Structure 1
Amino acid sequence: MRIRVTLAAVLVVGIALVGGALLLVALLGNVLTGQVCQDSHERAAQLAAGNDRPPSTATELIQWVDPATAGARIASPGSGCVAVEPPGYTEDFVFASAASGAGEVIVGRPLVDVLDSTRFVRRVLVVGVPLMMGVVGGVTWLVTGRMLAPVTAIRREVDEITAAELHRRVPAARRDEVGRLATTMNRMLDRLQRSHESRLQFVSDASHELRSPIATIRQHAEVARAYPDRTCVAELAATVLAEDLRMQCLVDDLLLLARADEEPAGCPDTPVDLDDVVFAAARKLREATNLTIETAAVSAGQVRGDRAALARMVGNLAGNAARHARSLVTFSLSESAGGVLLTVADDGPGIAPADRSRVFDRFVRLDAARTRESGGAGLGLAIVAKIVESHGGTIEIDTSPTGGASLVVNLPRAA
């Protein structure tokens, strides 16, 4: 960039200087020639008004023309001036005339001074224009170097930053465009660092979650091999099947979140009766638990989106409420001008306000005493948040009338 800016500056200034030089030489020649013409007119008028007829000299040609004169060497220039090379001379003269009685007097002045002056100016410009272009190029090179030095420092710093050094930042002390560029780069590095740390934490948590069912399967298999007479095949198969199901559910959840991260806007746009989805989830809870499931506050509500994803969202909310509820899970659904409002509440211990902002993070368990069997892998609400976001909605956490947690989802209603 520095080279291109310097070359562009030299080119533009060079074109301007060459054009200006040519114009200067032309104007100077015209002005000096006009001055010689004026002097010739004044001299011709002076001679025509007098009675003397001085002879021609080396710096002044005089020709008197009257009816008695024949074979005049110089044609009459008329009222203007004529620049010609007279016979017997090797240089141009400027001729002017003035009426004298029945004839006229023609006076010529040489252009040698004009030619010398313009020739001198051309020589000066031939030397001066390249020098000026060189000066402009040098100054431009230095100025652009100083201007681009912070950009070069930013580039070198960013080039040296690796995945293990995402904590480093570029200098952003300036308050101009370069400073704003550095600030933008630092914000980008902040996002990269957070993303990298989140990815590392995600991989670590996923590995930890997968290690538990694998260790359980291995433990039971080793016991069965060491004590085959004490091992029941049905019991071993049930254990392996249960742990395999846990791993499958965990992998499915991880794949869903990975696809949501890669394609955050990939969501079908079909009408979905959300009340039907809520009733289906409530029916499953009644069949799987001994809790009281209230659906009296569920009314009609239609949204647009992916029915399977919305069913997964409602199912995760229902499962989360069932794990924490003491005896009651309440569903409510209403439609208004602001959208479709879904609320899933329980009568459990609730969620502290300080923890409400992080329950949607991945692998988060607020109760450290809960086991993976009873509390899951900590991905349910993270999946809920992703599904709600992909459908253009919002989710909030409040306290239910029974003192438990109330998760409120607001989705745009179908047009």
Structure 2
Amino acid sequence: MGGRAMRLRVTLTAVLVLGVALVAGALVLVALLGSVLTDQVCQDARDRVTQLSSVTGTDRPQSTSSELIQWTAVPGGGETLASPPTNGCVSVEPPGYPEDFVFAAAPLATGGDVIVGKPLVDVLDSTRFVRRVLVVGVPLMMLIVGGVTWVVTGRILAPVTAIRREVDEITASELHRRVPAVRTDEIGRLGRTMNRMLDRLQRAQESRQRFVSDASHELRSPIAAIRQHAEVARAHPGRTTVTELATTVLDEDVRMQGLVDDLLLLARSDEDHTEPPNTPVDLDDLVLAEAQRLRLATSLTIDTAGVSGGQVRGDEAALSRMIHNLADNAARHARSRVAFTLTESAGTVVLAISDDGPGIPPADRSHVFDRFVRLNPSRSRDAGGTGLGLAIVATIIERHHGTITVHTADTGGATLEAKLPPADSDSGRPRASTGPRAR
């Protein structure tokens, strides 16, 4: 229905524009034709009156059915047929005649004037014929153009109608379907654009389904562990103690709480498209505080010699969470040492956290920021975390218009490098392209 309405609007618009142009052109044509033919009759009258001005004696011709002639003895004297200007013509309807004549006058050598009138009947017949042709031809041409426009518009809009029908039938469970896009014009580009949009929607849905599946699996593990220990304690009270059962339940509960908190954070980040606060944040203070936490919680050597001043604008709590996750990731894989560096140069604040662990293979670096990714599936869940830490890091950095990349550290381990715009940059903070990101 929408396509038919558009065809009708386009056709009516084309016919209306053409009709206005044709009517205006017809009026101009008739006016010019009448003017040209009248000028020609005037010229004939002037030529005739010039010829008669030299006639003398009794050989003066008189009026005929196709020509009016009047001779006057005194210039301008007596009642004349008309009073044409010198070297010009005048168009009047003389008494006793049903049509206009064009009159021209010339003085006689013997005194007086000669006036010659030529009828305009041929001019009127010619213009009348042209008007009749235009009265029939203009509507006929408008009808032809309207029909052609209707057919051509229908053929042009047919692919759009097919695209609309296909998109209208696509549901959330049929995102694999695509619209026809075989043409090379704008309609074909529209179809290909729609297909790319459907590709993105399909990937987003698949990613969401994987996320829900992974989240369900991760939540099932601590629940299953709690249930298993509880069933063993109830069936065989002598095999465990209340303290052991309470410890197991508390550990799994803490693990489950951490997972739920991470899931809620990612869910809020996916829904929140607002800019972070424009508050100045001293990253060096956050980095040094996180380094001190690692010194107290681990036996690793924590190097902060490369930490200098660096201030950005954003959400201090989120940036602190980002540094915390990066530090935990480095400590989890380090053998003996974690190094923090923070510099500001070339309009960028660069935070790098390195470890001396096994490193990250280049083939896996594009996936480490995906959700629920564990590059080493053989390690325990307690050591491996929830698989959401680096995904949260990528989300926070992207929201602050930064980038996050992975490199090989000087010690052979991994260096995760985050780049953020400094606090004194443009407050508009145009969105920068990111490196590996959570998907």
What is the match of residue 430 of structure 2? Answer: none
Q: Secondary structure at the match of 2:164?
A: helix
Please tell me whether residue 64 in structure 1 is matched to residue 71 in structure 2: yes
Structure 1 equivalent of residue 106 of structure 2 = 98
Shift of 1:218: 4.0
Contact 1:73 1:87 in 2 (8 A): no
C-alpha distance 19-296 of structure 1, shift in aligned 2 (>3 A): closer
Of the candidates 364, 367, 370, which is equivalent to residue 376 of structure 2? 367
* 1:236-251 to 2 correspondences below 5 Å: 236-251=245-260
- Does structure 2 retain, via aligned residues, the 8 Å contact 1:60–1:108? yes
TM-superposed CA distance for 1:228, in Å, is: 7.7
What is the CA-CA distance between 1:391 and the residue it aligns to?
A: 2.6
Q: How many residues align?
A: 415
Instruction: Indicate which of 21, 46, 52 corresponds to 2:51.
Output: 46
Q: Is the 8 A contact 2:82 2:92 kept in 1?
A: no
Q: Show the counterpart of 2:324.
A: 315
The one of 349, 370, 389 aligned to 2:398:
389
C-alpha contact 1:150 1:178 (8 A) present in aligned 2: yes
Percent identity, aligned pairs only?
72
Taking structure 1 as reference, are residues 66 and 316 closer, same or farther at Cα in structure 2, changes over 3 Å only? same
- Picking from 4, 28, 32, the partner of 1:27 is 32
Matches within 5 A, 1:162-181: 162-181=171-190
Q: Distance in 1 between matches of 2:410 and 2:63?
A: 125
Question: Secondary structure of 1:31's partner?
Answer: helix
CA offsets, 1:302-348, max 9 Å, x none? 33332211211111112112222233333333444453333322232
Q: Scaled by the length of structure 2, what TM-score is found?
A: 0.84
2:137 maps to: 128
Cα displacement string for residues 64-117 of structure 1 (whole angstroms, at most 9, x for unaligned residues) = 222499863524323222222222222222222222322112222222221111
- Aligned residue in 1 for 2:84: 77
Return the alpha-carbon distance in structure 1 between the equivalents of residues 204 and 305 of structure 2: 43
- Structure 1: distance between partners of 2:24 and 2:391: 70
2:97 aligns with 89
Per-residue Cα deviation, 1:246-265 (whole angstroms, up to 9, x for no partner): 33322221222223333356
Matched with 1:15 is 20
Taking the aligned partners of 2:118 and 2:48, their CA distance within structure 1 comes to 10
Letter in 1 for 2:100: D
Structure 2 alignment gaps of length 5 or more = 1-5, 425-439
Given that 2:342 and 2:350 are in contact with CA atoms closer than 8 Å, whether structure 1 keeps it comes out as yes
SS at match of 1:49: coil
User: C-alpha distance in 1, partners of 2:305/2:49?
Assistant: 121
Please tell me the root mean square deviation across aligned C-alpha atoms, in Å: 2.8
1:294 matched to 2:299:
no
Structure 2 match to 1:274: 283
Superposed CA offset, 1:228-259 (max 9, x none):
89875555554444333333322221222223
- CA offset digits 1:344-401 (Å, max 9, x no partner): 2223222222111101100101111223333121000111112222233322222334
CA distance in 2, matches of 1:69, 1:330: 120
Moved more, 356-365 or 41-50: 41-50
**TM-score, length of structure 1 as denominator length:** 0.89
